[in-house]
Each structure stands twice: as C-alpha cells, then as structure tokens.
C-alpha cells in the first residue's frame, strides 16, 4: 500500500505483493496475532489499526481474540502465540505478500522465502 491508497477501499483478506528489501523481526517471548488461511499459510500481524475510527485499544483487541473477527473467510482461523524464538522476516527477491483484515490491520504472509520459521 502506498501513500495514495485509500484505506476505505482496501479489500479485506485479499493478498497483495509489495516491494520490500528490508528485514523485520519479532523478539522471542513476544505475543503475536496470527491468521491461518484455508490453504495452510500463516499471516502475522505487523500493523494494528482497527479501522479508520478505532473503537478499541490494542490490548482490548487482543483480549477479545477471535470474537473480533466477523468476516474471516471460510476455513481461516485466528490465534495468538508467544514466540519461542526470534522470528526474522526477510522477503525473498525483495517482494513481500501483505493483506489487511476487516479492521485495516496489516499482516505479512509467512512461508518459504519469507522468514526463519513458521510460528
């Protein structure tokens, strides 16, 4: 998503490929929010927004867990995990696959060529 993207028009749960040359990571013992899609891929939340007019704090969102999600596609699951080791994401070939959920939270796709393991 670039600076000209209207977040009101970003379709929920629709992956898009972006250029990303840098790595990012989450530390061991960090609580992460994950979505598992129907094809077996995992998505890790990297940006919390909860819509254009947020109704909840991050802590409230985490506490409500799966009850937040009303529009998850069929076969998708939400889970919270405490990382047992550092997760380092380094996109292969300078490309990353991202998506927004129904609240405009942003997730990165985890999988081969993306990170050092699958949480």
- Position 36 scores a pLDDT of 97
Nearest to 15 by CA among 94, 96, 88: 96
- Position 92 scores a pLDDT of 80
- The segments of the chain whose pLDDT lies below 50 read 1-4
Running DSSP on this structure, what letter comes out for residue 7?
A: G
- Position 2 scores a pLDDT of 45
- Position 43 scores a pLDDT of 97
Distance between CA 70 and CA 35 in Å, rounded?
13
């Amino acid at each position: 998503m670039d600076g000209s993207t209207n977040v009101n028009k970003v379709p929920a749960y629709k992956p898009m490929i972006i250029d990303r040359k840098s790595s990012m990571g989450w530390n061991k013992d960090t609580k992460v929010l994950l979505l598992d899609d129907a094809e077996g891929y995992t998505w890790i939340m990297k940006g919390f927004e909860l819509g254009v007019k947020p109704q909840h704090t991050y802590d409230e969102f985490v506490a409500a867990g799966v009850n937040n999600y009303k529009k998850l596609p069929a076969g998708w699951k939400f889970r919270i995990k405490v990382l047992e080791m550092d997760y380092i994401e380094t996109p292969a070939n300078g490309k990353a696959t991202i998506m927004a959920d129904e609240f405009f939270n942003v997730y990165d796709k985890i999988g081969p060529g993306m990170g050092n393991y699958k949480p």
